Each structure stands twice: as C-alpha cells, then as structure tokens.
C-alpha cells in the first residue's frame, strides 16, 4: 500500500470532571481559541468517556459537560467554525479505542506517569478504564486522522504513546501512513500551571483543596484571596529571568501573569523587577479577573439555556461522526472484520 499523506487537522479535548481551572484555560481552552482561525479544521471534544475513569456523580457529570461546552463558547470558540461535541455521542471513539487496546502493549501502558500519579498507592483498586485511558485518547485523535494536538505539558507522554500506537498499527497491518503521526503542540509560558499551595504539583480540577487552584468561575474576591495566600518565597521579582531558577512558586506566578497578559516572561520580569509579592500578587489578581470575569459571566448566561448547549453538542457530534465513522470502517476493513454493506 502506498503511503498516505494527511492534511493538517487539529483535535483536543477536556474532561468534564469538575470545575475548570486556570490551568485548563491557559493550557488548553485559550490555545484552542487561538488556533480557531488558522484556516485548519479544528475539533474540540468534551471527553466524557475519560471523565468516568474515576467516579462521577451522574447529575454532576451532566452539569460539568454543559459547563465545559459553555466555557468553550464563552471563551470564544464558535460552533460554526470548530466542531464542538461530547465524546460519548460519537461511538467511533470507543470502537477504535478497543482496537487500540489490542495494539498497545502492557509495557507501554505501564510507563504512563499520569496513571502512576492518579492511581498512587491504590493501583489495585482503580478502574481498568483509568489504566486504558491513553489508548482511548489515541483513538480520540486518530479516529479523525488528526495531525496536531494542542495540550498541556502533562499530556505530552500520551500523545507520544498515540504515535507509537499509530506506528504499530500501520506496521502490523502493512498500511504505511494510514494513521498519521500526530504532533503534540505545547507552546507558551503556561503549558504547566502549578498548584498555588505546592508548586511541585500541577493545578488540577480534582486537587484536594480549592485554595490550590483558580477556578474559571471564581469571583474577583476569591481570585484575589487565592493569589494572596499562594505560597511564595521571601524574595520578590528578580531583575532577570534566571533569578526565577529553583523558585517554582515564583516562576509559576510570573508564568501565569505572562500567559494572561500575552507577554513573554522576560517582559513581565522587566516590568516588575524588584517588586515584592505585596505589589505583584494584587496586579496578578486584577489581570486574572479582567480575563476570566467576562468568560464566567457569559458561561453563567449560557448555562441558563441547557437545550441550546445540548443542540451545539448534538450538531457537533453529527459533524464529527461524519469524519470518524468512515475512518473507523477503513480500520475495521484493514483489521479483517466482515462488515455487511
């Protein structure tokens, strides 16, 4: 079989597993919006099948799914331009995911650091789905033959595994280039927004304390309080970027400022050189409120019309399935499944 070429197509997703954080906004949503007008087809998914790899209350899952599509739209994604949908409405994801469970090797999965972090000492008790998560993520990307995947730093290993799965499938079945080798797109100063109380950990929706994260829906007072209480060191903003080396808490706050203000870290350090946290933290809070408040206000408005949000997801799912289903069927034919036509 001759090698296939693939036109550029962007896919990414977020789990509806709770309130969205500033990490999700800067590491994912804001960057999705930035790519929307690049002239390339973009698909942004609410990955509900991934959310249930850990327990989700059904009513809360429905709420978080609608809240996430509301966040996409409120942040600037246009459902007429980007395909916005939830994963469970396009069954090809789960179907290709099963094929990939039979392609991926146990040894590969055992190396996934996110599974180790999430399972912790509890590896015997977590769901099989949590273990197989990266194989389903490979299917999410490859069912669209997507070539570019904007993600935060924490997802890089999963996109690399996706490449391994694509390569093994193409090689095992003698179909060079059938699946593309997708590229993780990890750019900007906030690809890893850290926990405000412990900057060795990333900011997560499901972290234990609400004080460790900024939620996209936090009000101005809460945002100011959380930044004020964020752990820092006694030194303020250094005169040069290298003065942030070995200071993860300081680096995190400066990175957040840079990402929110669309400036380089160098520019932020130059502007605040010598300032103490007492001056920097209120400026950071003000900036975060200026960026997040219009989005959260619009999210609240959109959440008043759940039928409209469901309609966006349904129409997106139809458009997504129109790409995914033929690709799945080709994969089924390659594998040797008999399909009645």
Binding residues vs ligand AQP (CB under 6 A): 14-15, 17-18, 21, 23-24, 27-28, 151-152, 154-155, 191-193, 202-206
Structure tokens at 340: 């009645």
Instruction: Report the residue number, 48 or 331, with the smaller CB distance to ligand AQP.
Output: 48
Strands (E), the chain: 9-14, 41-46, 83-86, 148-150, 183-185
Among residues 118, 226, 281, 291, the one annotated as catalytic is 118
Q: Which helix (H) or strand (E) holds 134?
A: helix 128-142
Q: Based on the residue annotation, tell me whether 118 is a catalytic residue of this protein.
A: yes
20 or 331, CB closer to ligand AQP? 20
- In whole angstroms, the minimum distance from the beta carbon of 118 to ligand AQP comes to 7
Q: What is the torsion angle, in degrees rounded to the nearest 10, for the CA atoms of residue 83, residue 89, residue 95 and residue 96?
A: 10
H or E stretch covering 78: none
* Cα–Cα distance for residue pair 287/281, rounded to 1 Å: 10
Q: Is 81 considered catalytic here? A: no
Q: Based on the residue annotation, tell me whether 205 is a catalytic residue of this protein.
A: yes
Identify which of residues 203 and 289 has a Cβ nearer to ligand AQP in the complex. Answer: 203
Angle formed by the axes of helices 248-261 and 265-272, nearest 10°: 110
Nearer to ligand AQP, 178 or 291 (CB): 291
Sign of CA dihedral 47, 36, 142, 93: positive
- Cβ-closest position to ligand AQP: 27
Catalytic residue among 202, 226, 281, 291: 202
Tokens of 191: 């690809």
* Shortest Å, Cβ 161 to ligand AQP: 14
CB of 17 to ligand AQP, least distance (A): 3
Q: Which is nearer to ligand AQP, 157 or 315 (CB)?
A: 157
Q: How far is Cα of residue 287 from the mean position of the Cα atoms in its chain? A: 23
Beta carbon of residue 246, minimum distance to ligand AQP (angstroms, whole number): 20
Shortest Å distance, C-beta 151 to ligand AQP: 4
Report, as residue numbers or ranges, the catalytic residues: 118, 202, 205
């Amino acid at each position: 079989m001759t090698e296939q070429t693939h036109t550029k197509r962007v896919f990414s997703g977020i789990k509806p597993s709770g309130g969205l954080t500033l990490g999700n906004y800067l590491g994912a949503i804001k960057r999705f919006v930035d790519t929307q007008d690049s002239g390339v087809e973009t698909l942004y998914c609410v990955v509900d099948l991934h959310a249930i790899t850990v327990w989700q209350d059904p009513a809360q899952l429905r709420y978080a799914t609608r809240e996430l599509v509301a966040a996409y739209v409120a942040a600037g994604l246009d459902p007429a331009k980007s395909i916005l949908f939830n994963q469970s409405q396009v069954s090809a994801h789960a179907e290709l995911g099963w094929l990939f469970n039979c392609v991926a090797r146990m040894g590969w999965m055992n190396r996934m650091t996110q599974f180790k972090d999430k399972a912790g000492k509890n590896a015997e008790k977590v769901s099989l789905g949590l273990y197989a998560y990266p194989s389903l993520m490979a299917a999410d990307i490859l069912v669209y033959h997507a070539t570019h995947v904007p993600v935060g730093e924490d997802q890089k290993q999963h996109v690399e595994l996706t490449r391994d799965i694509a390569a093994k499938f193409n090689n095992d079945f003698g179909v060079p280039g059938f699946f593309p080798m997708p590229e993780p797109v990890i750019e900007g100063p906030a690809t890893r927004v850290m926990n405000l109380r412990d900057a060795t950990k990333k900011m997560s929706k499901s972290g234990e304390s609400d004080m460790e994260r900024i939620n996209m829906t936090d009000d101005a007072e809460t945002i100011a309080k959380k930044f004020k209480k964020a752990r820092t060191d006694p030194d303020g903003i250094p005169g040069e970027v290298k003065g942030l080396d070995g200071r993860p808490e300081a680096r995190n706050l400066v990175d957040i400022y840079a990402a929110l203000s669309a400036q380089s870290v160098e520019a932020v350090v130059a502007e605040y050189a010598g300032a103490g946290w007492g001056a920097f933290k209120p400026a950071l809070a003000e900036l975060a409120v200026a960026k997040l408040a219009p989005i959260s206000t619009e999210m609240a408005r959109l959440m008043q019309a759940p039928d409209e949000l469901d309609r966006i997801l349904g129409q997106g799912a139809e458009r997504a399935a129109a790409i995914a289903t033929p690709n799945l069927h080709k994969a089924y034919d390659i594998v040797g499944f008999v399909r009645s036509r």
